[in-house]
Structure 1
Amino acid sequence: MKIKILLALIFVNLLQAQKFYFPQTTVTDSVILEKQMPGLALQVISSLQTKKNKPKNDVDFSDALFRLQIVAKEYKKSINTLSEYRNQYADHHMADYKFIGYELYSMAKMDATEKKTSFPNALREAFNKKYGSIPEKQIPRIGLAVDGDVNEARKLLTKTLAKQKGKDSIDYRAALALCKSYLNAITYSAIKPQVTQLVTVKDQEKFIAETKDLKTKNGNTLTITIVRKKENKSPLPVILTSNIYAGPFDEFFGKRAAVYNYVGAVVNTRGKRNSPDENNPFEHEAQDIYEVIDWVSKQPWSNGKVGMIGGSYLGFSQWAAVKKLHAALKTIVPQVAVGIGIDYPAQNNIFMSYMLQWIQYVTNNKLTDEADFSNFAKWDSINTAWYKSGKSFRSLDTISGKPSKIFQRWLDHPGYDSYWQKMVPYKEEFSRINIPVLTTTGYYDDDQIGALYYFKKHHQYNKNADHYLVIGPYNHGGAQSFGFTYVNGNPIDPAARISIDDLAFSWFDYILKGGKKPDILKDKINFQVMNTNTWKHVPTLDKMHTSTLKFYLQDRKNSSSVFNKPQNKSFTTQTVDFKNRSEKDLYYRVSKKDSIKTTHSVYFESEVLDKDMIISGNLSGVFNVSINKKDFDTDTYLYQIQPDGQSFLLSTHIVRASYSKNNEVRQLLAPGKLEQIPINNSIFMSKKIEKGSRLLLVVGVNKNPAWQINYGTGKDVSDETIQDSGEPLQIKWYNDSYVEIPVYKD
């Protein structure tokens, strides 16, 4: 009796501390682990539904719940939860393939028990049933969805369990993480070999796929994958993708084109897959793609018309392809296109640490090094080690343990010089691009600046450019697939939840098959106004707003409004010590649950807005400053402080001051002299700002492990070290500086 009371007290104490009983023997005994996990998952489910732990939005809640239900062996419930999760999408068919691996596992486990059949038999039946229910347009995604990395899943589970060594209890967050890692390990270990084979059989029934090597005129080798739907016997237009991410996506892109009734062709860049050539990202696409287009346009399954599609690097590839335009190329659909030398590997002339992680991702092997790229802890530690060491940015590859010629070569070109210019159209070359173009990007897209650079330059140099833009609340992935229900934790309007795939292939039907123009393309610029559930359509980017509002860098306590030009000139002084690598972060407290980081920054707060306002477009303006050095990197953020006390990031801007007037030629600042830094190439956003909100403008200096550190000596920033830091940077931000906010009114 005493033992029962003692155990009861232990469980009460664990519950009060948000901890669960979890014997330490589970760490080393897989049999005990298998017995303990269902009970642990049930306890986590109970905690997940409490006010303290319930996620802020329904999508995150459903995502966690269906996983926990599978671990708890509540298979029927998990399938229902997953169905409800998918129905939260405006068009839930866009998500039918999502998490299909877990669904197949649940279906098979449930059927194996109910029908008293073997798991492999139940899995085969579950797969055939699910495959038959999925819309044809989503079938190409099935292979990707079930391609879980079994070895990595097992490693993560082992790592997660190791944290419990010597413990007899586990807290809520650790338990949730353990349940998720356990689920990945058991699911993909159980289904992957068989489901991969089942997908292959289905693909062979539906598609004709072939992979071959092409020899270019200068002797290089490129691997190309061609996919056709078996039922299509006549020659068709070819949808070509140039893909550096060799691997499963090659067949996916090919099959995607095929199910929309085109021939899909996917060529890998030099050095990838079967190519013995050197892999130098970005450098040869303009030359190679011309020959690929020439080849595919002359094949018996081609009707001579070629279109191109793809996102990110694959978007860049299309702009490389039109530098020398082939007659067979009739249209391109660049999505979230990398602006090489514009927003990657440097954004507004500031190199990013991420570039090294990406270089190794695409050059470590003939496919992609997923394990290394996804090892975020490793890369965080490398970037942090570099930051704390005070060594030059050029030493980052050495610190990583793998010197990189590509990394060093990129650093040799801090301005937008001929090295970058030769990769894509430059100036007047845009005037010769007379084929229709459809660009898609998003307010949350990492390559928005690049995507819009091409759009702006095309229209600048070709006044008759047949070039359309669709931009909405999409991130880098969404703007090349479909509108997610939530982006960055925020719900997006139902009107924005469109299929980008459907839009792209409707465009191809329009251009290549004489079909109907997509309904959304009512003008050259088509943008979704967040928080209004509406789309707007205007002829030029500057028509996204009808007026502007100048936000001056002044304390509103000394003025009736930050939006009024100050009567008396003054300045706010900021000091940044580049030698200090251990300072504590500073925050602007928005509410009890929200804060904004203001380290190395100063901030200015507006009065409460007395009416709704639509901010639409991107920030412009000018900073009037004087500094005690020859250069620095600015960092700007505009936030909405919502009436509910939550912050919302509206736009950002960074730039190297010495390149702010001309990204090709460096113009150093004169210490102690008043200088002007124009604000260009900031992030576009369109959103209704509710009455009762405030705007918070945060301006400062870019100093963190994610970017180069500009010490202000005027030397090549990549070569500067902490020994060059000298005295702390002192900035005078004059109050007649302003950020010009674009405002839209009907």
Structure 2
Amino acid sequence: MKFKILLALIFVNLMQAQKFYFPKTAVTDSVILEKQMPELARQVIPHLQSTKYRPENTVDLMDNLFRLQMVAQDYKNSLASLSENRNLFADHNMGGYRFMGFELYNLAKQVQTNKNVSFSNALQEVFNQKYDNLPERLIPRLGLSLDGDVKDSKKQLKKALDKQKDKDSIDYRTALALCKTYLNYKAYSSIKPQVMQLLTSKDKERFITETRDLKIKSGNTLTITIVRKKENTSPLPVILTSNIYAGSFDHFFGKRAATYNYVGAVVNTRGKRNSNDVNNPFEHESEDLYEVIDWVSKQPWSNGKVGMIGGSYLGFSQWAAVKKLHPALKTIVPQVAVGIGIDYPAQNNIFMSYMLQWIQYVTNNKLTDEADFANAVKWDSIYTKWYKSGKSFRSLDTISGKPSKIFQRWLDHPGYDRYWQKMVPYKEDFSKINIPILTTTGYYDDDQIGALYYFKEHHKYNKNAEHYLVIGPYNHGGAQNFGFTYVNGNPIDPAARISIDELAFSWFDYILKGGKKPEILKDRINFQVMNTNTWKHVADLGKMHNSSLKFYLQDKKNTSSVFRKPESQSFTKQTVDLKNRDQKDTYYKVSKKDSIKTTYSVVFESEILDKDIIISGNLSGVFNVSINKKDFDTDTYLYQISPDGKSYLLSTHIVRASYSKDNERRQLLEPNKVEQIPINNSYFMSKKIEKGSKLLLLVGVNKNPNWQINYGSGKDVSDETLKDAGEPLEIKWYNDSYVEIPVYKD
């Protein structure tokens, strides 16, 4: 009994040791708060660096450390930690400048103390020094890095302080979060108004910027921003971006082109900025951009040649522009391009809940509704409320409190029909696209499927297309920006850390100015093989691999290898209650710190690999299944479990079974009959898998708040409700089903 009491006391003491003094008066008294925050940060720092609380990831450690040191007013050491953090984020001159606001605040505080001047004078001094010494190619990024949301950071700080009401102590995790929130507000509220004015003044010395309204033949008005470098007085090629995300990015895109010695032109889509027209995303880009290109090509500052660049929606815009190709458009550089109707707003014919969040983001006002879009708590609650309600997916906009005609119109087109086809090139349209193109995407890019759809269709219908692809370990941001040093918490190979900006404008120099072709473009497909620190170059996507492994849906306990076709047919039965909204999650335990969610999946595990293999390409194969309904949505994940017990997601695939053979025409399944579901349009990956690893294959049903729920009645899935669920979905996954894994062998 005494031993138990002793253990309890030790536990209580440990819990108490994790708490810090923080008076409740600091919540309501700003003077006390200003005094207490440095003290709190000084207490938290040793815990951050301790074995118990030290983050595994060096980036997370240094990121937290420099912020805490800054709150603690240890500006010298904070600057050193910030510099180290910047080096971790990128090994080239494009990286790490998202911390510029903190750096300026830090430097200004030091100058204020050392020279005994006002903070305002100190800030002006350090800003001028930084601007004048910054590489010119980084000047456009200053506006983005300094444009912190002061209003939102103040709101977040109040929320954090409210949690401390009537408390005189604070635990480590809460204290760390409070320090970071406090710094965001403190730094940006102190510097933003002044530095944005200083930046505007500096930019006026360097650039000529003109914003005007452009009337087009349809009677609509578009807002266009033109940016030129003052020293460039002769006509130049124009780099055009069509931007639905009206706001600070307009000037960024324009200035970026200007610093590379082009004219930057950024046009906003209908309904944005000064346009009072109806904003219907995607629908009018093709017709509008033909007129915009015609106009910019004829201006006195243009030499008649136009190129286009941009990512995501801005990548889609370029494919819309070549639907009807203007003679002045000489090249496009679509980055992480949305495949409209292909991977957004539905991926392989399954609509995503996110589409409503995005619609409101770009249509709530004339610019972009950043606060609403970033409100993850709000949107998660909307998706969850819909999911729990059992109402139709079509009711999601009403549940959000803001009915949307655009949302409803998109749902009216569940197949890849004429509505989507008319927005971008379709089939034979690709044969007429004879300008050079450079596509960039990434293994972790949300729009990889769309980007590769255009690439594949272009080469399919135009065998001589001069269309290059660069793909590597990049996410949606990295493949239109620069290769972040860490992606999904894991470091990428140094060879992959390239500047996508430098690549894109080297390409423009090559096409529009007769320069040298970028070194990396040794063949049509240029891909980085993760864990090898090398790039490979092949003529077509099929040559990314030269062999394959067929992973059959069978229990490894019943076979010597899951990669060998089973001798007799059997099946694994899965039951999913589509009515159940309180399903307890299940997990595959990888290690003490790592697990994989398997709630609606059947897990198949390979044997330990006895040699290294390089997986390169995307998953294909076929599922042989029988179900007791007319339809369902499959969900597939392939993981690597490394020898050190970590999991790495290699590829995913989802598809509506009734559209798996033809994304334009729905073909319902016959209940209780064995049907084939082909695996197409999965995510590409190229990575060396080390000897001693094993592969984990999850196949199952897509059922969660982030997507439509297919109840299998055969009705339009957007109209199905919980009443259509009927009996639980029963699936027989036959063991002659396989996922074909592409492998490259030297």
Regarding TM over 0.5, the answer is yes
Partner of 2:531: 531
Partner of 1:4: none
Partner of 2:192: 192
Q: CA deviation at 1:580?
A: 0.6
Counterpart-to-counterpart distance in 1, 2:140 and 2:271? 26
Q: Is the 8 A contact 1:658 1:666 kept in 2?
A: yes
What SS does the corresponding residue of 2:180 show, helix, strand or coil? helix
1:516-556: CA deviation from partner (whole Å, max 9, x where unpaired) = 00000000000000000000000000100010100000001
Counterpart-to-counterpart distance in 1, 2:87 and 2:371? 32
Q: Is the 8 A contact 2:237 2:306 kept in 1?
A: yes
Partner of 2:732: 732
Counterpart-to-counterpart distance in 2, 1:87 and 1:184? 21
1:369 and 2:362 correspond: no
Q: Is the 8 A contact 1:14 1:20 kept in 2?
A: no
Q: Which of structure 1's runs of 4+ aligned residues deviate more than 6 A? A: 9-12
1:31-67: CA deviation from partner (whole Å, max 9, x where unpaired) = 1111111111112211111222222222221111111
Q: Is the 8 A contact 1:108 1:119 kept in 2?
A: yes
1:176 and 2:137 correspond: no
1:116 and 2:116 correspond: yes
Counterpart-to-counterpart distance in 2, 1:172 and 1:664? 54
TM-score using structure 1 length: 0.98
Partner of 2:86: 86
Counterpart-to-counterpart distance in 2, 1:95 and 1:536? 24
Partner of 1:602: 602
Counterpart-to-counterpart distance in 2, 1:378 and 1:459? 43
User: Which runs of structure 2 are paired with 1:62-461 in the superposition (5 Å)?
Assistant: 62-89=62-89, 91-95=91-95, 97-461=97-461
Counterpart-to-counterpart distance in 2, 1:719 and 1:732? 26
1:206-242: CA deviation from partner (whole Å, max 9, x where unpaired) = 0000000000111000000000000101000000000
The amino acid across from 2:399 in the alignment is I
1:641 and 2:641 correspond: yes
Partner of 1:493: 493
Partner of 2:682: 682
Partner of 1:41: 41
TM-score using structure 2 length: 0.98
Counterpart-to-counterpart distance in 1, 2:741 and 2:10? 58
What SS does the corresponding residue of 1:276 show, helix, strand or coil? coil
1:183-210: CA deviation from partner (whole Å, max 9, x where unpaired) = 0111111101100000001100000000
Q: Is the 8 A contact 2:27 2:161 kept in 1?
A: yes
What SS does the corresponding residue of 1:95 show, helix, strand or coil? coil
Partner of 1:571: 571
Q: Is the 8 A contact 1:619 1:684 kept in 2?
A: yes
Q: Is the 8 A contact 2:347 2:654 kept in 1?
A: yes
The amino acid across from 1:196 in the alignment is M
Q: CA deviation at 1:560?
A: 0.5
What SS does the corresponding residue of 2:441 show, helix, strand or coil? strand
Farther-moved stretch of structure 1 (88-97 vs 628-637): 88-97
What SS does the corresponding residue of 2:79 show, helix, strand or coil? helix
- Number of residue pairs the alignment of both structures matches: 738
Q: CA deviation at 1:97?
A: 2.5
The amino acid across from 1:53 in the alignment is Y
Q: Is the 8 A contact 1:617 1:685 kept in 2?
A: yes
Q: CA deviation at 1:296?
A: 0.2
The amino acid across from 1:47 in the alignment is H
What SS does the corresponding residue of 2:610 show, helix, strand or coil? coil
Q: Is the 8 A contact 2:336 2:441 kept in 1?
A: yes
Counterpart-to-counterpart distance in 2, 1:218 and 1:183? 49
The amino acid across from 2:453 in the alignment is Y
Counterpart-to-counterpart distance in 2, 1:38 and 1:691? 49
What SS does the corresponding residue of 2:45 show, helix, strand or coil? helix
Q: CA deviation at 1:132?
A: 2.0
Sequence identity percentage:
81
Q: CA deviation at 1:90?
A: 5.0
What SS does the corresponding residue of 2:97 show, helix, strand or coil? coil
What SS does the corresponding residue of 1:225 show, helix, strand or coil? strand
User: Which runs of structure 2 are paired with 1:496-507 in the superposition (5 Å)?
Assistant: 496-507=496-507
User: Which runs of structure 2 are paired with 1:505-516 in the superposition (5 Å)?
Assistant: 505-516=505-516
The amino acid across from 1:84 in the alignment is E
Q: Is the 8 A contact 1:11 1:20 kept in 2?
A: no
Counterpart-to-counterpart distance in 2, 1:54 and 1:406? 47
Counterpart-to-counterpart distance in 1, 2:44 and 2:315? 43
What SS does the corresponding residue of 2:98 show, helix, strand or coil? coil
Q: CA RMSD in A?
A: 1.2
Q: CA deviation at 1:89?
A: 4.6
Counterpart-to-counterpart distance in 2, 1:25 and 1:636? 53
Counterpart-to-counterpart distance in 2, 1:247 and 1:31? 36
1:288-334: CA deviation from partner (whole Å, max 9, x where unpaired) = 00000000000000000000000000000000000000000000000
1:413-442: CA deviation from partner (whole Å, max 9, x where unpaired) = 000000000000000000000000000000
The amino acid across from 1:594 in the alignment is D
Partner of 2:593: 593
Partner of 1:714: 714
Farther-moved stretch of structure 1 (588-597 vs 20-29): 20-29
The amino acid across from 1:712 in the alignment is G
1:135-185: CA deviation from partner (whole Å, max 9, x where unpaired) = 110100001111011111100000011111122211111111101110011
Q: Is the 8 A contact 1:506 1:518 kept in 2?
A: yes
Q: Is the 8 A contact 2:240 2:265 kept in 1?
A: yes
What SS does the corresponding residue of 1:380 show, helix, strand or coil? helix
Q: Is the 8 A contact 2:86 2:97 kept in 1?
A: no
Counterpart-to-counterpart distance in 1, 2:592 and 2:13? 28
- Could you tell me which runs of 5 or more consecutive residues in structure 2 were left unpaired when the two chains were aligned: 1-8
Counterpart-to-counterpart distance in 1, 2:331 and 2:51? 52
Counterpart-to-counterpart distance in 1, 2:544 and 2:56? 32
Counterpart-to-counterpart distance in 2, 1:388 and 1:88? 42
Q: Is the 8 A contact 1:11 1:21 kept in 2?
A: no
Partner of 2:5: none
Counterpart-to-counterpart distance in 2, 1:184 and 1:669? 54
What SS does the corresponding residue of 2:239 show, helix, strand or coil? strand
Q: CA deviation at 1:15?
A: 6.7
Q: Is the 8 A contact 1:641 1:648 kept in 2?
A: yes
Farther-moved stretch of structure 1 (58-67 vs 505-514): 58-67
Q: Is the 8 A contact 2:622 2:738 kept in 1?
A: yes
The amino acid across from 1:405 in the alignment is K
Q: CA deviation at 1:17?
A: 4.4
Partner of 2:662: 662
Q: CA deviation at 1:91?
A: 3.0
Q: CA deviation at 1:96?
A: 5.2
Q: Is the 8 A contact 2:572 2:733 kept in 1?
A: yes
Q: Is the 8 A contact 2:91 2:485 kept in 1?
A: no
- Could you tell me which runs of 5 or more consecutive residues in structure 1 were left unpaired when the two chains were aligned: 1-8
Counterpart-to-counterpart distance in 2, 1:92 and 1:309? 22
